[in-house]
Structure 1
């Protein structure tokens, strides 16, 4: 993906972990995600993004982030999310390097497409933890939190964790709070992997994303593996606060070889579920599906086209 091309369709764009930023002032959408052709092996290139006014024809790739000289990470540039906060655009993205723990670092830009530059001093997730897929949540009191995954490769039963951020989003403050473990979801299934010892049940957590419904319910999308491969479920906070307790839906909202999603607000006020499918490199593509709120949750409505 080099140089700028116009009128790309989603079928033309190899991308994992798609994230749509809606910019009403421009009447436009920006699509971010893991965009290196091989996200699993070094060297990493950076993150590209794509711009559209109708969610169908996309302009790009636009180089949103390229690592500056001396940047600490050279591999596994994963799952960038962009959030407008305090008038600036903050990217939460996962990085790692040889001899370093994987973690989420925060970058900043003054325009939706960047260019993004490091903002936090390395990862804001705990330096001795294997973490990924940090997302921003701002609670009813206006306090920012990062919600992220403590990886199954370190804890076996993957965890979703919340931690307060400083108001300027430069650093984590306070202690991590365990929200739930992957095995709490009835739909989640153990994974077989060479790094899992015989007889040990390992469960994956990926891609948390928070959504507050119009009636005040606090929902979380997150991904793991189900009966038919990579999947995405919904957890809901019983208290309506990030601290929970969190209850898991019995069945995933997306069950068939796709996941790591988020919920975007469309320019017409609707809701859009994003995910990648299939979960196989280099075939993965962004998939969009309309959602609607019903009974304190979200349900699939219809395809965008």
Structure 2
């Protein structure tokens, strides 16, 4: 039994369970020769586990491509590909290194669009020191490299969630949301003609509709459109998207012509909560073999804001009235049957960092991969330099080996649970000691120090979490073969404050100190335990 330290009170918490391999059942019997009809493939799956909000999907040739919101983590806008909709490979990013000059944050809601032998990615970002804008980048191939063309529209209240669509005459338009809810106003969805050659909006804009139904609450957003049987159908999200108290759901509206009039489905919202998935919404439509799907996000009920909004594929059909319908009006995807399939082991092989690693926007890490080592350049910003991995479950354990012989005086390096650079829990080593940091709203508190009698060349650091919010730290002086709890009484630390309103928690490696310092890590492991 361990205890949580919360407001000076010790609260008992369960120990983190060990990961145990279970034998698979062996089935025996006599084979039959009777013909068996092939089973109908179910596409209702969790296809982008982890923090992948606002996913987009597009078919280019015989391959499906997907991306998702990056928010405040780089590299910006991951690019996945699949040939069957179920198995996805991360192959590149739209902005893998430095950001476009005009923007610096809020990298939201990408939409992939194939047109005239080129691929375009419409996205949301914040103009430096100013408003949210819808912008566009393009490439000759879906995996890039991409050229940024800058913002298309940026209203005073903000413009987000751009979606390109040809009208009934074949004229390209951009549909987007006015972010009026950011200032307590309504949220009209606009459409305006888009000059395909100059990549700029032309002519007057037209309001399609706004949040005027009770279930939509303060907003409608995340529009994605498809044409079917003579109608434009707009799938859109309503209400509060994110965090512990989210109320998100998905609706649909239709119109014979792009500019309206639009009719909202009488059964809205058509995609809502169930016992497994919470707050589904903001997706893009795909078709395969005559079957229809929405790739959208939702929170898993057991991990919710701590893991973040995950990418689900949900199949729908068209009813007799011509409206899309989902089974039980909710996602039918099963959670990961065995989260161990998402375990991460990185021995830093080769000469490049795995594409799954991330870093805080604006803090591009200086690093080298060589000799099975990650050599991470330190800096003095907030936590320091950070490279991090998404988590996939509310309960997990992660560890790394740190070469302390490379730590100059005054440099600290270690392992942490990171909501963002302003909110983290981290175990770091430096100056022949261990320190436990609690960083909240940018203020760092040193909870504990352990001073070593003798130097240790290789120090193991381990972080364990259960329920998404209870953390325990330990260290090893013998290559991770024997772990010593950081405190003899094994207090657990309350980390409910970690996740920002729109992101899940990452686990990351930290290097804080002068920029001339380089820290060496080896053998990173992340085990997801539900």
Give yes or no for TM over 0.5: yes
Q: Does 1:19 align with 2:45?
A: no
Shift of 1:252: 0.6
Other-structure match for 1:92: 122
1:241 aligns with 2:257: yes
Consecutive unaligned residues in structure 2, runs of 5 or more:
1-45, 274-278, 335-530
Match of 1:271 among 292, 307, 320: 292
2:192 to 150, 160, 163: 163
Within-5 A mapping of 1:186-265: 186-189=214-217, 203-213=218-228, 215-225=229-239, 229-237=247-255, 240-250=256-266, 251-256=268-273, 257-265=279-287
User: C-alpha separation between the residues in 2 aligned to 1:124 and 1:92?
Assistant: 9
Cross-structure match for 1:280? 305
State the Cα distance separating 1:265 from its structure 2 match: 1.7
Secondary structure (helix, strand or coil) at the match of 1:10 reads strand
Structure 1 residue 17: Cα displacement? 0.5
Pair 123,57 (structure 1): closer, same or farther in 2 beyond 3 Å: same
Which whole-Å CA distance do the structure 2 matches of 1:129 and 1:105 have between them? 16
In structure 2, distance between residues paired with 1:135 and 1:62: 22
Moved over 4 A (4+): 67-70, 301-305
Alpha-carbon shift at residue 165 of structure 1 (Å): 0.6
Deviations 1:251-282 (A, max 9, x none): 2111221110121122x232111110117364
Between 169-178 and 85-94, the greater mean CA deviation after superposition: 169-178
Structure 1 residue 156 displacement after superposition: 1.1
Residue 145 in structure 1 maps to residue 173 in structure 2: yes
User: Which one of the candidate residues 95, 99, 114 is aligned to 1:65?
Assistant: 95
Report the Cα distance in structure 1 between the residues aligned to 2:141 and 2:224, rounded to whole angstroms: 22
* Residue 45 of structure 1, CA deviation: 3.5
In structure 1, distance between residues paired with 2:306 and 2:198: 33
Residues 316 and 325, structure 2, Cα contact 8 Å, conserved in 1: yes
SS at match of 1:153: helix
* 8 A Cα contact 2:66 2:112, kept in partner: no
Which one has the largest radius of gyration? 2
Number of matched pairs: 270
Contact 1:44-1:77 at 8 Å conserved across structures: no
1:81 to 86, 97, 111: 111
**C-alpha spacing 1:62/1:173, structure 2 compared with 1 (3 Å):** same
Per-residue CA deviations over 1:123-174 (Å, capped at 9, x if unaligned) read 1114534110000010121100000000121461111111111132610011
User: Retained in 2: the 8 A contact 1:206–1:260?
Assistant: yes
Q: Structure 1 pair 162/258, CA: closer, same or farther in 2 (3 Å)?
A: same
Displacement of 1:85 in angstroms is 1.1
Task: Say what the alpha-carbon RMSD is for the aligned residues.
Answer: 2.5
